[in-house]
Structure 1
């Protein structure tokens, strides 16, 4: 575990030099963004982005602890609610604020954006086309039934 965190710290320093993935929103408040990643890599990427964004104002142990809690929530949402595959392309954006009194990061406005590849889009379109066709058939059947009922009512007059 310690080796993994030291590797993340090294990568975080590297990211700080090459890629800004955090936007300041106010005092001790940042918007963190993973950028486009595969779902399997969200935890490492989010931890690294947070380390870059908060390393100068928040103890590293606090960042790692609180991001670990957020990552548990994200896992549940990504795997159980959204039912995403490990190779699904996503982007996670979250607002994070350092609460100095309680010595913790507070997260809000969590967004998980799912990106689809061309094959997935084609499959989704085909599925929706099939549903539309079924609905059109239902509408036609209802129109036929309405016409039959209208004729029946006219014949009863």
Structure 2
């Protein structure tokens, strides 16, 4: 934080003595005092504080709040893609890099359908028999696998 904003913050919270402690390391007495200052207010109270005091302070948003924010909308940070096997579009993050001469235009290809690559991925670690057992037991999902009626008592118990 720039010194002018740090000073404004410290003055705004009535802790001017912390101005000289701007670069105190984590775990220091000054750092612990700041933890108490922040813990004393809710996020809503800090938002009001930031609107009144020019100290370059913004709330930490939850992921859904950040993605729904005006800034994310203005920057086109969220795109909608068609996804096989899903009804309606899926929201995904766009490329955050914005270059004027070489703008990022990634191809908007959907992710593979659920289970589309299961055999290939598991097959890099397990034998074919082990992969098929994982799929038939329900521990893994393959796009082309259809459950069949249990053929034995053990299969029936596993299916329930």
TM-score, normalised with respect to structure 2: 0.22
More strand by proportion, 1 or 2? 1
TM-score, normalised with respect to structure 1: 0.22
